[in-house]
């Protein structure tokens, strides 16, 4: 067997991007399809039964959700700031920004839980008390879409908390930014999905 003795030769170029990042982008592709399935169904169901939808602000609380949207946008900027700090080797920046992102994400979740509780327990809809997933297509699609987004935020917050703990142990630095960047990609994607959900679920 003629094994060419060429240890150390670089592999094929691929995407010119490190593997974890490629993996995350590939994974995000499947996430896009998942949310496309939900959003597509939402659009179709809504077209089929437009009269069963409430007008914005009638059932859902837009101001508080707008504030929540703002929180998520802020968490995105702290996330990129954390990445920038990591690239610059700014340990304090890494800690502060990661912690900030985690807290903002957690607050978003808290507000969402509050919103759900209010809706289920106190909001009335079409004459019945409590706006639940069983409240027609409107309720079903609302809770399914925002619920799955919330689930993604939850996963993100757990990962962020873990990354923050690592930051305090000095894990990240100029020579170790990949984890933060990849986590950031996921986090921004969750933000991006929310931007779309906020618009089509709450505002339209």
Q: Could you say which residues in the range 143-202 bind another protein, by CB under 8 A?
A: 144, 148, 181, 184-185, 188-189, 191-192, 195-196, 198-200
Q: How many residues bind another protein (CB under 8 A)?
A: 86
User: Distance between CA 117 and CA 111 in Å, rounded?
Assistant: 10
Q: How far is the CB of 170 from another protein (least distance, A)?
A: 21
Residues of span 111-130 touching another protein by CB under 8 A: 120, 130
Please, which residue, 40 or 168, has the CB nearer to another protein?
A: 40
By CB atoms closer than 10 A (0-12, 13-18, 19+), residue 146 is buried
Q: Would you tell me how many other CB atoms lie within 10 Å of the CB of residue 2? A: 4
- We find the least distance from the C-beta atom of residue 167 to another protein, in angstroms, to be 19
- The one among 63, 127, 169, 175 contacting another protein by CB under 8 A: 63
Helix axes 19-48, 136-168, angle to 10 degrees: 160
Among 110, 113, 126, 133, binds another protein (CB under 8 A): 133
State which of positions 39-58 bind another protein (CB under 8 A).
40-41, 43-45, 47-49, 52, 56-57
> 3-state DSSP call for residue 125?
strand
Name which of 15 and 92 has its Cβ closer to another protein.
15
Q: Helices (DSSP H) in the chain: which residue ranges? A: 19-48, 62-88, 91-122, 136-168, 178-197
């Amino acid at each position: 067997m003629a094994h060419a003795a060429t240890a150390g030769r670089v592999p094929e170029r691929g995407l010119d991007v490190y593997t974890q990042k490629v993996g995350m982008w590939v994974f995000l592709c499947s996430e896009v399809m998942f949310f496309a399935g939900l959003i597509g169904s939402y659009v179709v169901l809504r077209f089929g039964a437009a009269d069963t939808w409430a007008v914005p602000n009638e059932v859902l609380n837009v101001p508080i959700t707008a504030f929540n949207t703002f929180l998520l946008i802020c968490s995105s900027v702290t996330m990129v700031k954390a990445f920038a700090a990591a690239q610059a080797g700014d340990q304090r920046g890494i800690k502060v920004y990661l912690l900030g992102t985690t807290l903002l994400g957690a607050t978003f979740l808290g507000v969402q839980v509050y919103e759900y509780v209010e809706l289920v327990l106190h909001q009335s809809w079409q004459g019945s008390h409590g706006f639940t997933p069983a409240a027609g297509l409107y309720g079903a699609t609302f809770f399914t879409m925002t619920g799955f987004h919330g689930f993604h935020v939850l996963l993100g917050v757990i990962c962020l908390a873990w990354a923050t703990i690592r930051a305090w142990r000095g894990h990240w630095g100029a020579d170790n930014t990949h984890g933060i960047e990849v986590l950031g990609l996921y986090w921004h994607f969750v933000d991006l999905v929310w931007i779309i959900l906020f618009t089509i679920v709450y505002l339209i």
